[in-house]
Amino acid sequence: MDNNSLYHPPLMPHLLIEGLNRYHDQPCLFLGDKVATYREVRERTSQLVQALQSLGLGRGSRVAVISGNRPEVLANIAAMQLAGCIGTPLHPLGSLEDHAYVLEAAEIDALVFDPTAFDAHAGALQQRVPGVKHLLSFGPSDSGIDYLDLADGFAPQPLVAPDVNPEDIASVNFTGGTTGKPKGVMSSYRVTSYMTQIQLAEWEFPEDLRMLIATPLSHAAAAFFIPVLQKGGAFYVMQGFSPDGFFDMIEQHRITATMLVPVMLYILLDSPRAKTADMSSMESIFYGASPMSPARLKQAIEMWGPVFYQFFGQSEAPMVIANMRRGEHDLSKPERLAACGRPSPWVHLALLDGDGNPAPAGEPGEICVRGPLVMSGYKDMPEATAEAFAGGWLHTGDVGRLDEDGFLHIVDRTKDMIVTGGFNVYPREVEDVLSRHESVQQVVVIGVPDEQWGEAVKAVVVVKPGITADETLAAALKQQVKDAKGSVQAPKSVDFVDAIPLTPVGKPDKKAVRARYWGDQARGVS
């Protein structure tokens, strides 16, 4: 420890140990037909820590994870924290090319994977990225060593926190940019500790916390791990999302809280079960990650009551920049449902103009933040880091305004990222794939309003002279992106146009292109 350790706060590893030690035989994790107690999760975590250490993986080792929802994911998240590893989650829907880029850019030492879905994928990744020295499989596999079998050889020991500082890097999460390759957001132990403190201070968690996880555990669980432990609660994990499965779990286990991205909520609202399921146990439905249709939110509140809690953040300053409490979802103020809540009092927030000065009251400005929540920078990208931190603020790339009641409304993006069904899509990456097609002369990719997905990916294409622009070509373009980037990034629609409007300096004018589709909708994003 350095000389300032006298003033170091408890970090995520300390909070995990305290939470896992607090209870013994209470249930901690329900998944499928398996139930794990606090003691079992704690002991499994210890065995996994020892397995990592036996391979020389410890403080500062870089470990990526790709898995479906299975019990080991939770214990492995804890084990990586307690070993001092730097974690990087891989999205289960990403392509081999994208994953290989992340493994190289993050300089990954080991890949933990679920062999039931990613055995061949893991082997192919190691061939592409020889720097990945270890493949650790949740069970027997053809590609890697059996991580669970290795762990079984160790006797559980008391959990011990690693010797880490608040400024040491705890995770590197990749987020795309409007240009070029995805950026590795370096989050220190300070960030996750501070985020958790704000959650526990601000978020409306039920006292009797039974938390349904309907999203990938490798991503969602980390953000909810400490609050659930601190409340003596339990995770109830879906192995795949479906309306019937969701409502069945709520009725069977009397679930009191969950987290949904808007597209999941829309699917639930459109299910016949929405009107008949017993939702009386539900106290808090946390939502965020993408635009929410105010009309659908109103419908949900009318159906299930004032149980909705919104959070807003980004990878560079996660989840707690602003929040809208359950009681602030006021149906008598319908315009309020288009806001993302009040800025957190625990984060410095300013709306700044292009010169870095405060925007006039009531006028929009770029949302900029300061405080312990802010990332350490982008890995190996000093120029992008300097741009993000210009003027001593983190520039979020979102343009917002504050209404007269102090609620933050996000009105546009300075960056062009599309959020579709809770997933981020970066237009430049899709444009690069489409422009490789022999028929394409020019292309811009934008997000357009979509009732189900929040935003849908649309390609606006100018074809080369003599080419027939028809449905066959549109289908081929969609398939080309799907093959290269995966189904999430593939355009839902392709429009053929004679020309794409240009700015005075000759760049495609995406704002003008978007205006055709967004019309007079006041709220572009959330």
| DSSP characters over 34-79 | EEEEHHHHHHHHHHHHHHHHHTT--TT-EEEEE--S-HHHHHHHHH
In whole angstroms, give the CA distance from residue 70 to residue 498: 50
- Whether 114 and 184 share a structural domain: yes
- Whether 67 and 175 share a structural domain: yes
Compare 449 and 14 and report the one with higher pLDDT.
14
- Whether 312 and 381 share a structural domain: yes
Domain boundary among 188, 205, 233: 188
Give the Å distances, CA to CA, from 88 to 3, 105, 411.
29, 11, 31
Q: How many independent structural domains does the chain possess?
A: 3
- Contact between 520 and 127 (Cβ < 8 Å): no
Residue with the two structure tokens 């622009």: 469
- Whether 326 and 364 share a structural domain: yes
Which one-letter amino acid corresponds to residue 411? V
Q: Considering the entire predicted model, what is its pTM?
A: 0.83
Q: What angle do CA 353, 377, 351 make, to 5 degrees?
A: 20
Q: Give the model's pLDDT for residue 239.
A: 85
Nearest CA to 62 out of 43, 80, 41, 50 is that of: 80
What counts of helices (H) and strands (E) characterise the chain? 16, 26
In whole angstroms, give the CA distance from residue 307 to residue 305: 6
| Structural domain for 422, as ranges | 418-518
- Whether 324 and 430 share a structural domain: no
Q: Give the model's pLDDT for residue 504.
A: 44
Domain boundary among 413, 443, 469: 413
Q: Where are the alpha helices (DSSP H) in 129-242?
A: 147-152, 189-202, 217-230
- Whether 184 and 68 share a structural domain: yes
In whole angstroms, give the CA distance from residue 430 to residue 481: 7
158-217: pLDDT as tens digits: 999 999 999 999 999 998 543 457 899 999 999 999 999 999 999 999 999 999 999 888
Domain boundary among 413, 428, 451: 413
Residue 262 lies in a domain: yes
80-98: pLDDT as tens digits: 999 999 999 998 878 899 8
202 Cβ neighbours under 8 A, 6+ residues apart: 320, 323, 344, 346
- Whether 268 and 319 share a structural domain: yes
- Whether 77 and 106 share a structural domain: yes
- For the chain, report the end-to-end CA distance as a whole number of angstroms: 41
State the CATH number of the domain containing residue 52. 3.40.50.12780
Q: Count Cβ atoms below 10 Å from residue 239 Cβ, excluding itself.
A: 11
